[in-house]
Amino acid sequence: MTRVLVTGGTGFLGSWCVRALLDAGHTVRTTVRTPQREPELRSWLHAATTFDDDRLTVVRADLEQPDGWEEAVAGCDYVLHVASPTLRLTPATDDELVVPAREGVLRVLRAARDAGVRRVVLTSAFGAVGIGHPPRSAPFTEEDWTDVDADIPPYQRSKTLAERAAWQFIKEEGGTLELAAVHPVGVLGPLLGPDDPPSLRLVRRMLEGRVPACPPFGMGFVDVRDVADLHLRAMTDPAAAGERFLAIAGHSLRVVEIARILRDRLGERAAKAPTRELPVWLARALGVANPELRLLRHQLGRDLDATSAKAEQLLGWRARPIEDTIEDTAESLLTHGLGK
């Protein structure tokens, strides 16, 4: 029976990857930084699907610490490296994200190589593909890389440098270990448990009436369940070795369109969602005092589009309609007492 390690099993995407693997019949080991969260994770998964408890093992390992990784990968055929250091608040310096992300990836890859793992699937991000570039009309593809020499936020810089380090490691020290990378755009979708992932906060704030007007930009979005599915395809398909895969549902979506979809699908329950988009000049002016708008300064007035044609053609992957994902996101938030 195939054994798969998932790093960061209590995270939004990590927990869905664990569920997808269990549903597919794999034996799963997952890492957490806090062992006390194991009962919580098991309860989420048992509420969502049926599996024997002996097919899921939870171990402690921290990307910022060397201990535990040799034991975590031992006996595993594949690794889904989903975890990445994330700060809830804007970091003061790049090093707070860049160094842990890069060193964490290398820790996992070294341990996987030494344990004879067949392939690691790295969860990267659109942030490692399409940030720091001049405006363009063509969608971004896997051939593109974020410009780390541009004035970009630390999170996008960390994802780019961590992935660069991963590919260099495979080339120079990887031995027989294979690598594939998945690059989701903005990840939405239902929760497995009452968590508060950063990627759902825009929808949550819209439902709560805390977004009086939408920031003027567009980007891609994709369902967390489809991203998990792409990880499993990239894990075993021979065509995925050595490849990068963008994950987007259709095309870029303006933020104001998300608000419209919420109102159309949820009616009165989304009555607080905004109806207008800020002018670009006003968004830039407000960004002087608003740190979240300031982080978006390079996106204001733009539509950052991407294409998943490669994943569709090579791996047969398909994303569900983003309108359904947005509705499912909102319904899940409300069910868990969030967004009211």
Q: Do residues 21 and 6 lie in contact, with contact meaning Cβ atoms separated by under 8 Å? A: yes
| Ramachandran angles phi, psi of 299, nearest 5° | -95, -20
Task: Please indicate whether residue 310 is annotated as part of the active site.
Answer: no
Amino acid at 232: L
Indicate the SS3 state at residue 333: helix
- What lies within 8 Å, CB to CB, of 267 at 6+ separation is none
Strand 186-188, strand 221-223: pairing: parallel
**Residue 319 DSSP code:** P
CA distance 98 to 77: 28
Q: Do residues 207 and 339 lie in contact, with contact meaning Cβ atoms separated by under 8 Å? A: yes
| Ramachandran angles phi, psi of 88, nearest 5° | -70, -30
Name the catalytic one among 159, 272, 310, 340.
Answer: 159
Residues noted as catalytic: 159
